[in-house]
């Protein structure tokens, strides 16, 4: 009887450990949405396990990883949501129990086009997929207008359409359906789509012409029939133009007399205005020189100040004076992390393990956030270490307080005792609240972390180019600080 009971316990435990394994699936091909309509961005769990207790985050890869919609702790948390998505997004909460984490986007806008990341995270696992959304807008029917005549009696026809997205194709066709070459083409990108104009000149009377606009599987067409009356009006127009030219010559002679008498006064005024303008430009030039010198002095003072603080200057001297030997602490590592024997490397393998209380008597391990600490802690002075990050797709590093919370779904920001920066979704960011995007000129291969405990400064540098990346300043440290790393790649992170 005991053997049967023990067997049932083992089978039950195995089932529980497997119940949280899942993959995130979605469409492979781009998704087409119509401007002004609603669209559903598909995303679901395979197998169809419940996502009610999971974190469901949708964000834009092409907009610095900005939040589109966040579901967490059984509710929507859209405080940091992009303004343009306010009151336009929702997840199907009654479908979460079936593993459906799709996002409904209402009243689609052209600016909604882009790459969306669906990121699902449970207590023991995370996965994501990318949904490519393409937006189409059907514009106005083509409008044909008569735009006058040329010198040989040809009739100018102009065709215009607007409000299409992406850019449509506009063509002229004759009565036989043969494409005509446009003489003048004007294309403009506007907020509500593209505006396109094409012009042709025709000489055939009593004929039919078509203007056709096409975009993927949409097509609209307008036709115009030219008549003899249109071309006869050209002769009348030429006669009127001749009279207008004659009248213009006479009027021009009279005006020339007036202009000649008035010209001398205008010349005097112009010379005076030029003198005043020249004096004004001279004063502006002197002012710009003074401002430039002021900025140069200010920059020089700031540079000297930074040199005194050790953030700029001789890197070799900085390394010799403050570099420390950091090794990773396996006792603090998330269950997915595998730390090398020498403590210099860590890689992430999705093992779907949970933290065992017997193995974590000192409550040191991270159970949800995939993080690991360094063994060495510091309570004063300055220290510096380097981390190799090439070939890593997601990483964060920095320092944390010894007393900082490690259990549960924690936000890694200074408010919670974490000073970190990193790389996710092809973007660099500082883990402030909210995240601050960082622009770098060259992708770092090795990142250096410098900490000045008394000054309250945590700085990050590109070791190869010797460039400063970001700094937390004016912080207050009153606890032991440990190096901390967040790593979710199979490729090792090397200290």
Chain segment 456-466, per-residue pLDDT in tens: 999 999 988 87
| CB count in 10 Å sphere of residue 272 | 10
Give Cα 400 to chain centroid, integer Å. Answer: 29
Q: What predicted TM-score, i.e. pTM, was given to this entire model?
A: 0.43
Residue with tokens 């012409």: 209
| CB count in 10 Å sphere of residue 72 | 14
Per-residue pLDDT at 186: 87
CA–CA separation, 157 and 139 (whole Å): 20
> Are 80 and 214 members of one domain?
no
CA–CA separation, 55 and 70 (whole Å): 8
> Are 155 and 256 members of one domain?
no
Specify if 13 maps to a domain: no
Per-residue pLDDT at 305: 45
Do residues 60 and 68 touch, judged by C-beta distance below 8 A? yes
> Are 26 and 57 members of one domain?
yes
The C-alpha angle with vertex 248 and arms to 246 and 249, in degrees rounded to 5, equals: 65
Q: What is the CA radius of gyration of the chain?
A: 35
> Are 209 and 120 members of one domain?
no
276 pLDDT higher than 50: yes
Q: Which of 276, 309, 342 is the last residue of a domain?
A: 309
Per-residue pLDDT at 231: 58
| CB count in 10 Å sphere of residue 242 | 10
> Are 132 and 194 members of one domain?
no
The CATH number linked to 79 is 2.60.40.10
Calculate the dihedral angle through the C-alpha atoms of 285, 289, 294, 296, rounding to the nearest 10 degrees: 140
Give the mean pLDDT of 13-38.
Answer: 80
- Is residue 434 reached through a cis peptide bond, with omega within 30 degrees of 0 on the bond before it? yes
Give the residue, 94 or 7, on which the prediction is more confident. Answer: 94
CA–CA separation, 138 and 164 (whole Å): 5
3-state secondary structure (DSSP) of residue 35? coil
> Are 207 and 249 members of one domain?
no
Total domain count, the chain? 4
| CB count in 10 Å sphere of residue 152 | 8
Specify if 325 maps to a domain: yes
Percent of the chain with pLDDT over 70: 84
Residue with tokens 């029917």: 141
Specify if 6 maps to a domain: no
109 pLDDT higher than 90: yes
415 pLDDT higher than 90: yes
Per-residue pLDDT at 459: 92
Per-residue pLDDT at 314: 57
Burial group, residue 189, by CB count within 10 angstroms (0-12, 13-18, 19+): exposed
Do residues 128 and 69 touch, judged by C-beta distance below 8 A? no
Per-residue pLDDT at 307: 44
**Where does the pLDDT of residue 318 fall: very low under 50, low under 70, confident under 90, or very high at 90 and above?**
low
Q: In the predicted model, what is the mean pLDDT of the chain?
A: 84
Tokens in use for 218?
């949409």
| CB count in 10 Å sphere of residue 310 | 19
| CB count in 10 Å sphere of residue 285 | 10
| CB within 8 Å of 358: residues ≥ 6 apart | none
237 pLDDT higher than 70: no
> Are 239 and 367 members of one domain?
no
Q: Tell me which H or E stretch contains 423.
A: strand 418-424
Per-residue pLDDT at 228: 66
CA–CA separation, 361 and 181 (whole Å): 81
Specify if 1 maps to a domain: no
CA–CA separation, 379 and 377 (whole Å): 7
The CATH number linked to 328 is 2.60.120.920
Percent of the chain with pLDDT over 90: 47
Per-residue pLDDT at 289: 74
CA–CA separation, 485 and 333 (whole Å): 10
Specify if 460 maps to a domain: yes
Give the residue, 148 or 338, on which the prediction is more confident. Answer: 338
178 pLDDT higher than 90: no
Q: Give whichever of 167-176, 281-290, 350-359 has the largest mean pLDDT.
A: 167-176
30 pLDDT higher than 50: yes
How many residues are listed for the chain in this entry? 495
**Where does the pLDDT of residue 315 fall: very low under 50, low under 70, confident under 90, or very high at 90 and above?**
low
Range name among 134-143, 249-258, 307-316, 381-390 with the lowest pLDDT average: 307-316
Q: Which of 191, 226, 261 is the last residue of a domain?
A: 226
> Are 120 and 199 members of one domain?
no
Per-residue pLDDT at 12: 47
User: What does residue 14 show for φ and ψ, rounded to 5 degrees?
Assistant: -65, -40
Specify if 467 maps to a domain: yes
CA–CA separation, 105 and 115 (whole Å): 14
88 pLDDT higher than 80: yes
> Are 324 and 445 members of one domain?
yes
**Where does the pLDDT of residue 233 fall: very low under 50, low under 70, confident under 90, or very high at 90 and above?**
low
> Are 305 and 442 members of one domain?
no
**Where does the pLDDT of residue 67 fall: very low under 50, low under 70, confident under 90, or very high at 90 and above?**
very high
CA–CA separation, 362 and 105 (whole Å): 46
Q: Which of 136, 155, 175 is the last residue of a domain?
A: 136
255 pLDDT higher than 80: yes
Give the mean pLDDT of 15-23.
Answer: 65
Give the residue, 11 or 489, on which the prediction is more confident. Answer: 489
In angstroms, the Cα distances linking 174 to 157, 220, 232 are 12, 16, 21
260 pLDDT higher than 90: no
**Where does the pLDDT of residue 203 fall: very low under 50, low under 70, confident under 90, or very high at 90 and above?**
confident
Give the mean pLDDT of 327-336.
Answer: 91
> Are 391 and 471 members of one domain?
yes
What is the edge-to-edge ordering of all strands in the sheet holding 179-180? Answer: 179-180, 169-173, 208-215, 218-225
Give residue 290's domain range.
Answer: 232-309
In angstroms, the Cα distances linking 292 to 74, 93, 230, 404, 451 are 56, 58, 65, 46, 34
Give the mean pLDDT of 396-416.
Answer: 92
**Where does the pLDDT of residue 136 fall: very low under 50, low under 70, confident under 90, or very high at 90 and above?**
very high
Calculate the dihedral angle through the C-alpha atoms of 273, 275, 278, 280, rounding to the nearest 10 degrees: -70
User: Which residues on adjacent β-strands are paired with residue 190?
Assistant: 193
Do residues 371 and 431 touch, judged by C-beta distance below 8 A? no
Per-residue pLDDT at 481: 96
Residue among 437, 414, 418, 402 at smallest CA distance from 369: 418
Per-residue pLDDT at 28: 92
């Amino acid at each position: 009887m005991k053997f049967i009971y023990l067997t049932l316990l083992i089978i039950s435990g195995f089932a529980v450990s497997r119940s949280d394994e899942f993959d995130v699936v979605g469409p492979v091909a781009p998704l087409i949405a119509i401007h002004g309509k609603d669209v559903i961005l598909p995303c679901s769990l395979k197998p169809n396990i419940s996502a009610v207790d999971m974190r469901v985050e949708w964000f834009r890869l092409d907009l610095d990883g900005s939040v589109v919609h966040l579901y967490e702790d059984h509710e929507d948390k859209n405080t940091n949501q992009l303004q343009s998505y306010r009151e336009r997004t929702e997840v199907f909460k009654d479908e979460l129990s079936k593993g459906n984490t799709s996002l409904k986007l209402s009243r689609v806008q052209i600016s909604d086009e882009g790459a969306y990341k669906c990121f699902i995270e449970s207590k023991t696992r995370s996965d994501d997929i990318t949904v490519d959304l393409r937006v189409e807008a059907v514009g106005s029917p083509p409008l044909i207008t008569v735009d006058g005549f040329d010198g040989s009696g040809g009739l100018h026809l102009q065709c215009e359409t607007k409000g299409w997205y992406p850019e449509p194709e506009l063509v002229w066709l004759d009565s036989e359906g043969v494409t005509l070459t446009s003489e003048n083409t004007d294309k403009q990108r506007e907020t509500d789509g593209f505006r396109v104009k094409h012009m042709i000149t025709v000489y055939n009377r009593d004929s039919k012409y078509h203007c056709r606009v096409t975009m993927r599987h949409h097509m609209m067409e307008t036709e115009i029939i030219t008549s003899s009356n249109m071309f006869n009006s050209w002769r009348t127009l030429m006669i009127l133009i001749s009279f207008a030219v004659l009248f213009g010559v006479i009027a021009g002679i009279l005006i020339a007399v007036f202009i000649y008498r008035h010209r001398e006064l205008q010349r005097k005024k112009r010379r005076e205005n030029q003198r005043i303008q020249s004096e004004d430009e001279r004063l502006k030039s002197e002012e710009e020189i003074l401002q430039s010198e002021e900025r140069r002095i200010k920059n020089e003072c700031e540079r000297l100040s930074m040199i005194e603080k050790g953030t700029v200057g001789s890197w070799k001297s900085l390394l010799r004076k403050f570099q420390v030997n950091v090794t990773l602490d396996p006792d603090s590592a998330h269950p997915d992390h595998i730390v090398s024997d020498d403590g210099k490397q860590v890689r992430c393998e999705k093992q779907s393990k949970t933290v065992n209380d017997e193995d974590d008597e000192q409550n040191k391990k991270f159970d949800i956030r995939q993080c690991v600490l360094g063994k060495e802690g510091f309570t004063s002075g300055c220290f510096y270490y380097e981390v190799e990050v090439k070939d890593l797709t997601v990483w964060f590093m920095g320092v944390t307080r010894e007393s900082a919370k490690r259990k549960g779904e924690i936000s890694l920001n200074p408010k919670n005792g974490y000073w970190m920066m990193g790389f996710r979704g092809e973007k660099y960011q500082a883990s402030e609240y909210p995240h601050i995007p960082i622009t770098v000129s060259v992708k770092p291969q090795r990142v250096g972390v410098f900490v000045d405990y008394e000054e309250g400064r945590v700085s990050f540098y590109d070791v190869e180019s010797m460039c400063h990346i970001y700094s937390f300043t004016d912080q207050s440290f009153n606890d032991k600080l440990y190096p901390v790393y967040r790593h979710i790649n199979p490729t090792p992170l090397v200290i």
